[in-house]
Amino acid sequence: MATSQSTIDFLLDQLRALPGVRARKMFGEYALYCGEKVVALVCDNQLFVKITPAGKALVGERYREGEAYPGAKPSMLIDADEIEDYERLCELIRVTAASLPPPKPKKPKRK
């Protein structure tokens, strides 16, 4: 089951206070970016945030691991209550992005 556009629209609306947050469609699912960093995946209408020490500390006991797709690295599966609280969701995405290394430079295309 692919993620619906309404789910992405809702997430982006919840995260509107953060500059540079966007979603990019990939294979029927979505990658969630904060600036140039991929901070989460949205698969089957569920939010899977990359695991960082700062993110785990913020979520605390509500932390649950899940896989966005078979074979994916474990991520924090964020439940609906956490998504509804836009301030906590913004803070989670902000601290996750701050904890992740910068993206690797893209290799130039060969001619």
- The pLDDT profile of the chain, 111 residues, written as one tens digit per residue, is 689 999 999 999 999 999 999 999 988 799 999 999 999 999 999 999 999 999 999 988 777 899 998 999 999 999 888 899 999 999 999 999 999 998 888 888 887
Say how far apart CA 71 and CA 74 lie, in whole Å. 9
CATH of 5-99, one of 3.30.1490.190, 3.30.1460.30, 3.30.230.10, 3.40.1380.20: 3.30.1460.30
Looking from the CA of 69 toward its CB, the CA atoms found within 13 Å total: 14
pTM: 0.90
Say how far apart CA 29 and CA 81 lie, in whole Å. 21
- Number of Cβ within 10 Å of residue 73's Cβ equals 11
